Amino acid sequence: MARILKKKELVNTRLATNYGGWMYCDKCGENIGYLCYSTYDKLELNYVCNCGSKGSTLLYFEDSKLGKNSNDKLVIIKNRFCCPNDNEPLITLLDKKLASYKMEITCKNCESVYKKEINK
């Protein structure tokens, strides 16, 4: 069943579909990652692309839960950041295409909020 977005703010960013799929930098058109459709509940992402463009993404749904902060680290399975509780893929960010990023993503299943930050 399709989810109904409550908030969608994209700055210098483009998604392949309404709330998931491939993610692109609007300035250079490079693929910067992949957002899984059905496993996340909320995404806050701020990044600097290698081209110098600063972009951000804020997505959440009408039925999104507040979530609870987790000190657990996301696990990486086949280049995807996955929930450590059930190994479900949440998002892929292509480190080689991004100069830096800061992300908070909430798992839909366990309602945990995971944080990841990279500064090169």
pLDDT in tens, the chain (120 residues): 678 999 999 999 999 999 999 999 999 999 999 999 899 999 999 999 999 999 999 999 999 988 999 999 999 999 999 999 999 999 999 999 999 999 999 999 999 999 999 997
Residue 87's pLDDT is 96
Q: Structure pTM?
A: 0.94
pLDDT of residue 82: 98
Tokens coding 119: 């500064």
What pLDDT is stored for residue 2 in this prediction?
73
What pLDDT does residue 1 have?
60
Cα–Cα distance for residue pair 75/85, rounded to 1 Å? 9
pLDDT of 27: 97
